[in-house]
């Protein structure tokens, strides 16, 4: 079944939720609570992912890959 998820728009509120969840996972993996008030950059440093793309960057990259694939597809001639 094909959903066409590559072209779905992601609302800003959902992007913020995705980024928040990603940071939450990193924070739990680093065993740091929100009460410790450790900055996100420090958490990323501890986990060794500082400077790497976040999940929204990866989603955008996959969308562009899909778009490139579609652009390279030959045009079909449809017969009625």
Domain that holds residue 65: 12-72
| Helical residues (DSSP H) of the chain, grouped into ranges | 12-29, 40-47, 55-72
Residue 63 domain-assigned (yes or no): yes
Within 13 Å and on the Cβ side, how many CA atoms surround 32? Answer: 19
- Residue 32 has a pLDDT of 96
> What is the per-residue pLDDT for 78?
53
Residue 37, domain member (yes or no): yes
Give the C-alpha separation, 30 to 24, whole Å: 10
Number of domains in the chain: 1
The answer to whether residue 47 is domain-embedded is: yes
Length of the chain: 80
Mean pLDDT in residue range 46-59: 92
Per residue in 19-49, pLDDT tens? 999 999 999 999 999 999 999 999 999 999 9
Residue 32 counted as domain residue: yes
What 8-state DSSP symbol labels residue 78? P
Q: What does the pLDDT read at residue 34?
A: 92
């Amino acid at each position: 079944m094909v959903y066409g998820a590559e072209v779905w728009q992601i609302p800003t509120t959902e992007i913020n939720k995705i980024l928040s969840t990603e940071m939450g996972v990193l924070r739990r993996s680093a065993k740091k609570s929100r009460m410790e008030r450790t900055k996100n950059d420090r958490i990323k440093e501890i986990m060794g992912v500082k400077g790497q793309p976040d999940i929204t960057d990866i989603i955008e990259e996959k969308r562009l890959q899909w778009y490139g694939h579609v652009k390279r597809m030959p045009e079909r001639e449809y017969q009625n």
